Amino acid sequence: MAEEKGFEVLNPFLSIDLGIADWADGIKAWATANRDMVQPIKWLVNDLIVTIEGVMQAIPPVAMLGIILLIAWQAAGFRMAIFISMCLILLGLSDPNAWSLAMTTLAIVATSVVLCVIFGLPLGLLAGKSDRFEIAIRPVLDTMQTIPAFVYLVPVVMLIGIGNVSGVIVTIVFALPPIIRLTSLGIRQVNASVVEAARAFGASPRQILLKVELPLATPSIMAGLNQTIMMALSVVVIASLIAVKGLGNEVLRAMGRLDAGKAIVGGFGIVILAIVLDRITQGLGRTGRERGHRHWWQGGPVGWIVRIGQKFKSKDVATD
């Protein structure tokens, strides 16, 4: 090793410094300087989160349980709904605070996922349609999925500040890629001859997208949504580092105090939420026909209501 920084042929990297780290640190300064610019957007997203969380916290746990049961029944069938209810009851029993914390986490995850769908679906469609865009976006998605969250945690906090909104942004960065990838894949997998037939019968590009490509890509898109939700849940502990409340925060605090019991309660709650959301969205991805009835409105609680409605109608006809 030379005392002075001479150029070494066998290890040239040691003597060359392009100053990337300093340059990137400039982003932090830029972020701090431009805080005011993003404040309106921050309030908008924050309001959304606060509203969703407010509603979820306001609904009594038993009523919420009933609502989730009905949704799960419609989406995934009666037996799955019973299983999901058992899981949620277990979650509520695990700790007096667990239910409320879970609702907070659910609100954050729901907001992130809604935003992921709003951004991800059009981007995925574009990537499915255009090879160039697909090639361009692929390294971006790879980066988003693999870069450690701690890398962008600091600039995001500098720009927006700690709290729910930063948490949602961090979550989106991590959870957005699957829905883009699987939407693109779904569009690309649509049988080309079916699209050609639609064209031959005079369908416009918009009609082909809405009537042929999107319906046929739905199972794949739903798989993407499912993965996005799972990703979003897996990042809640990291998000709690920047003061996002909920189950993740419980795990973080328990870790600080070396409280294994509390950590398990929090971690267990995240797992149960993941199972519940996974089963419901997987159910959505399956068509009504795969579950043995012809249309989605012929099964589940909606099916019951429809059938009761029809009975009343036929009674009316009979009495006439």
Which residues of the chain form contacts with another protein (CB under 8 A)? 191, 193-194, 196-204, 207, 211-212, 215-216, 287, 289, 294
Cα(112)–Cα(47) distance, rounded to whole angstroms?
13
For tokens 């089963």, the residue is 279
Nearer to another protein, 55 or 197 (CB): 197
The least distance separating another protein from the CB of residue 296, rounded to whole angstroms, comes to 12
Nearer to another protein, 253 or 291 (CB): 291
Give one DSSP letter per residue of 84-152, joined into a string.
HHHHHHHHHHH-TTHHHHHHHHHHHHHHHHHHHHHHHHHHHHHHHH-HHHHHHHHHHHHHHHHS-HHHH
The least distance separating another protein from the CB of residue 182, rounded to whole angstroms, comes to 18
- Which residue in 278, 247, 277 sits closest to 264, CA to CA? 247
The least distance separating another protein from the CB of residue 204, rounded to whole angstroms, comes to 6
Q: One-letter amino acid identity for 268?
A: F
- Which residue in 234, 240, 235, 273 sits closest to 94, CA to CA? 273
The least distance separating another protein from the CB of residue 207, rounded to whole angstroms, comes to 5
- The DSSP code for 13 is G
The least distance separating another protein from the CB of residue 203, rounded to whole angstroms, comes to 4
Nearer to another protein, 114 or 197 (CB): 197
Q: CA Rg, the chain, in Å?
A: 25
Nearer to another protein, 32 or 130 (CB): 130
Nearer to another protein, 295 or 311 (CB): 295
Reduced 3-state DSSP string for 257-291: CCCHHHHHHHHHHHHHHHHHHHHHHHHHHCCHHHH
The least distance separating another protein from the CB of residue 192, rounded to whole angstroms, comes to 9
Nearer to another protein, 200 or 318 (CB): 200
